[in-house]
């Protein structure tokens, strides 16, 4: 079950898209097998037509995978014991299939665990994230990698949330889905699922990733950009971690997060991100301070706010029609009450920075820079920190500016306080 891969290219190598293949004792040795657990949450990939539109359907392994030669080498099916409850003494056997031998001299043996009920991804919430985390933790030692089948609408949110929840992850977790059901003649499901299996079963990429249309993205850097196109996802501020082409799998090993060998996989199994009470507001022309004040009202128990602002981090501060405080003033009041506010850009690419006066006013009001985080990453990271750090807003604010799982790139630091800037903040950037 132990996978080996060639070491990453030395730092001084100019080539950044080397194809790295797993190695075995013999490239023709069919006994080399990786074990992968597929978690089926629902989504388009398993959906069928009904009078109410497409709905997720069960028995995915039998109806969609066993009859396809690329997913079944025809060997006698065996079973995998999957631990589905806290009673580890009674794992439930699941039918397993094996892929044909890959070009890397390895087969992938896998089984499918289906959620009950199967979900349209619009119904995914923090409880589903916790269930995925728990299933991976319970079966962590028995499998080399994990594939999560998921609807596309909220896949980027789930990929971001799982990246924070699966702390000290040492194995691949790949989320994928499709724009067309696998049961239809023309679909993108087959390639998305097979590519995910190849990556999870052959390459030691110990991150939560999202694979779609031959590209593997860091999960907390991905965002959905199309409701209909097969290239439905993008990673605007970070190149793909891997791509699959006619010449094989090309991995950017220089971008892969490496696990600290001194740490062990220890996800928080009782953490409910839904308890963090984080809101998300997209600024638009004409937004009133009253609307923002209503969202931030103390009675709503809002503890965090992700603010999607214009351009490089700008919002207006026009007073209300009756002279009420402007948006920045409303945010400053909320920050004083302990609400953590994070500013990110509405733009698909780029980052927020105190370049213009409106963004400087926000920073002076205590609003945090979200750098180049996606909305999905900012929302789930803030929820994760508020849920884990309790009432320690100081620590939450500090960690929002730290790249925990490769979710952000920090630019030049700007100091808005009095006196000398703290360590790590360049004096030249002091305002």
- Model pLDDT, residue 335: 95
Catalytic-role residue among 22, 41, 44, 243: 44
**Smallest Cα–Cα separation from 306: which of 381, 251, 239, 243?**
381
Tokens 């996802």: give the residue.
Answer: 233
Query: How far is 308 from 375, CA to CA, in rounded Å?
Result: 8
Residues 6+ apart with CB under 8 A from 349: 236, 237
- Model pLDDT, residue 412: 52
196 bridge partner residues = none
- Model pLDDT, residue 355: 87
Residues 6+ apart with CB under 8 A from 56: 42, 43, 46, 47, 117, 118, 119, 120
- Model pLDDT, residue 231: 96
- Model pLDDT, residue 417: 52
The segments of the chain whose pLDDT lies below 50 read 2-30, 415-416, 418-431
Does the annotation count 152 as an active-site position? no
Helix axes 155-165, 126-138, angle to 10 degrees: 50
Q: Using an 8 Å Cβ cutoff, are 316 and 286 in contact?
A: no
Residues 6+ apart with CB under 8 A from 97: 61, 65, 66, 71, 72, 77, 109, 110, 111
**Smallest Cα–Cα separation from 92: which of 62, 114, 72?**
114
Cis before 253? omega within 30: no
Residues 6+ apart with CB under 8 A from 120: 42, 43, 55, 56, 151, 153
- Model pLDDT, residue 323: 77
- Model pLDDT, residue 232: 97
Query: How far is 147 from 129, CA to CA, in rounded Å?
Result: 14
- Model pLDDT, residue 371: 95
Query: How far is 233 from 222, CA to CA, in rounded Å?
Result: 6
- Model pLDDT, residue 275: 76
What mean pLDDT is reported for the chain? 87
Structure tokens given for 33: 């097998």
The radius of gyration of the chain from alpha carbons, rounded to an integer in Å, stands at 23
Residues in the chain: 431
């Amino acid at each position: 079950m132990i996978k080996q891969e060639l070491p990453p290219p030395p730092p001084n190598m100019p080539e950044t898209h080397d194809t790295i293949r797993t190695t075995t004792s013999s490239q023709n040795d069919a006994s080399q097998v990786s074990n992968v657990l597929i978690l089926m949450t629902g989504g388009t990939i398993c959906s069928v037509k009904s009078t109410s539109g497409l709905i997720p359907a069960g028995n995915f392994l039998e109806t969609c995978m066993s009859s396809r030669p690329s997913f079944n080498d025809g060997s006698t099916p065996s079973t995998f014991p999957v631990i589905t409850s806290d009673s580890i003494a009674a794992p439930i056997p699941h039918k397993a299939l094996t892929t044909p031998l890959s070009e890397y001299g390895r087969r992938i043996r896998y089984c499918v665990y289906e959620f009950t009920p199967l979900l349209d991804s619009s119904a995914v919430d923090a409880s589903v994230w916790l269930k995925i985390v728990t299933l991976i933790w319970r079966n962590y030692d028995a499998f080399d990698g994990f594939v999560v089948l998921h609807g596309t609408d909220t896949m980027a949110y789930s990929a971001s949330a799982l990246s924070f929840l699966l702390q000290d992850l040492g194995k691949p977790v790949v989320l994928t889905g499709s724009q067309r059901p696998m049961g239809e003649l023309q679909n993108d499901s087959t390639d998305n699922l097979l590519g995910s299996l190849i990556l999870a079963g052959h390459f030691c990429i110990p991150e939560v990733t999202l694979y779609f249309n031959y590209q593997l993205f860091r999960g907390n850097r991905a965002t959905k950009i199309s409701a209909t196109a097969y290239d439905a996802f993008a990673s605007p501020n970070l190149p793909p971690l891997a791509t699959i082409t006619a010449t094989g799998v090309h991995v950017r090993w220089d971008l892969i997060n490496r696990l600290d060998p001194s740490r062990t996989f220890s996800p928080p199994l009782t953490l409910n991100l839904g308890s963090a009470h984080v809101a998300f507001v997209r600024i638009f022309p004409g937004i009133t301070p009253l609307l923002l004040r209503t969202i931030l009202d103390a009675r709503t128990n809002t503890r965090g706010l992700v603010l999607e602002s214009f351009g490089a981090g700008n919002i207006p501060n026009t007073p209300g029609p009756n002279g009420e405080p402007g948006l920045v003033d409303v945010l400053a009041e909320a920050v004083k009450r302990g609400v953590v506010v994070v500013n990110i850009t509405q733009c698909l690419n780029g980052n927020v920075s105190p370049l213009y006066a409106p963004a400087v006013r926000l920073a002076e009001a205590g609003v945090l820079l979200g750098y180049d985080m996606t909305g999905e990453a900012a929302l789930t990271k803030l929820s994760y920190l508020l849920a884990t750090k309790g009432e320690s807003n100081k620590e939450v604010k500090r960690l929002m500016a730290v790249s925990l799982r490769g979710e952000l790139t920090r630019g030049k630091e700007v100091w808005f306080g009095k006196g000398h800037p703290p360590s790590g903040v360049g004096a030249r950037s002091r305002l």
